[in-house]
């Protein structure tokens, strides 16, 4: 399994940001630019995406790949959606490596085993569709979902999306939500300071952010006004301000 490559910009304390499904290390350019004004911002193409489309890895395997390329000294770790799930797994696996954790649109996973298996089958069917219609057509369908209906029309963001059908399909098969174990029991003993973010209009993940904040040992939840799931794309300045307000403590 190949090592992941790291992209760096800005200067200051290191902050690692992990992108969402279909995105790449070049996504969220406005949000990243704001953070890079305060931090040394580190981004990476996660397995199945961008330059690492040819790598297939489970969530735990992804955390081990990241552990080999991220700074050895403790850093601030953040992520969105798929990247938030990776960030949760990394922090649970390597808590001494993380000074503070920020997750946007995160989920603890699916508690009920039958529901989890149903999600795995749904992810497999979606993976098959990606391979059937191709990445470009799939991205049209993906971004037409209700949760992304209020995204700004930004050509740079569309151009930064991953366009490798096999990579995206395998990301779902190996690291989709259906593959994720239920993390709530582990989060209860997590002592890393944690901020769980969600768009205020994203009801499902607002509930998850609240549950993470209530279930982890040292966590809080905040909500980005006038934003749905991809709050850092819809309200980049407001989301970055919440991240910085929390991480400046560390």
Structure tokens at 193: 């300071």
Structural contact between residues 106 and 85, judged by C-beta atoms closer than 8 angstroms: yes
Q: Which of 223, 234, 219 is nearest to 200 (CA)?
A: 223
For the chain, where are the alpha helices, taking DSSP H only? 29-35, 59-69, 82-93, 113-133, 135-143, 155-159, 165-175, 184-187, 203-215, 231-234, 236-247
Domains along the sequence of the chain with CATH: 6-247 (3.40.50.1820)
Residues of the chain with pLDDT under 50: 1
Reading the block at residue 78, the tokens are 């953040």
pLDDT at 250: 85
Cα separation, 85 vs 207, in Å, equals: 16
Q: What is the reported pTM?
A: 0.97
Structure tokens at 155: 């050509």
pLDDT at 4: 85
- Contact (Cβ atoms closer than 8 angstroms) between residue 212 and residue 221: yes
pLDDT in tens, 149-191: 889 999 999 999 999 999 999 999 999 999 999 999 999 999 9
User: What's residue 2's pLDDT?
Assistant: 55
């Amino acid at each position: 399994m190949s090592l992941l490559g790291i992209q760096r910009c800005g200067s200051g304390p290191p902050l690692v940001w992990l992108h969402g499904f279909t995105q790449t290390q070049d996504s969220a350019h406005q949000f990243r630019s704001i953070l890079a004004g305060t931090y040394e911002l580190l981004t990476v193409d996660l397995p199945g995406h961008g330059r690492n489309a040819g790598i297939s890895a489970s969530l735990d395997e992804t955390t081990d790949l990241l552990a080999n390329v991220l700074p050895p000294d403790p850093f601030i770790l953040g992520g969105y959606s798929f990247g938030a799930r990776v960030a949760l797994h990394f922090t649970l696996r390597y808590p001494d490596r993380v000074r503070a954790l920020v997750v946007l649109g995160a989920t603890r996973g699916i508690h009920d085993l039958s529901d989890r298996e149903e999600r795995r089958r749904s992810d497999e069917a979606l993976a098959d569709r990606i391979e059937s219609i191709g990445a470009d057509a799939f991205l049209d369908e993906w971004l037409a979902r209700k949760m992304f209906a209020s995204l700004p029309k930004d050509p740079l963001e569309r151009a930064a999306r991953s366009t490798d059908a096999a990579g995206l399909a395998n990301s779902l098969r190996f690291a989709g939500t259906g593959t994720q174990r239920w993390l709530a029991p582990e989060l209860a003993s997590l002592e890393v300071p944690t901020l769980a973010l969600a768009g205020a209009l994203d009801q499902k993940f607002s509930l998850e952010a609240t549950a993470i904040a209530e279930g982890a040992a040292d966590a809080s939840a905040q909500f980005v006004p006038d934003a749905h799931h991809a709050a850092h794309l819809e309200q980049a300045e407001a989301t970055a301000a919440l991240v910085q307000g929390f991480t400046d403590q560390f």
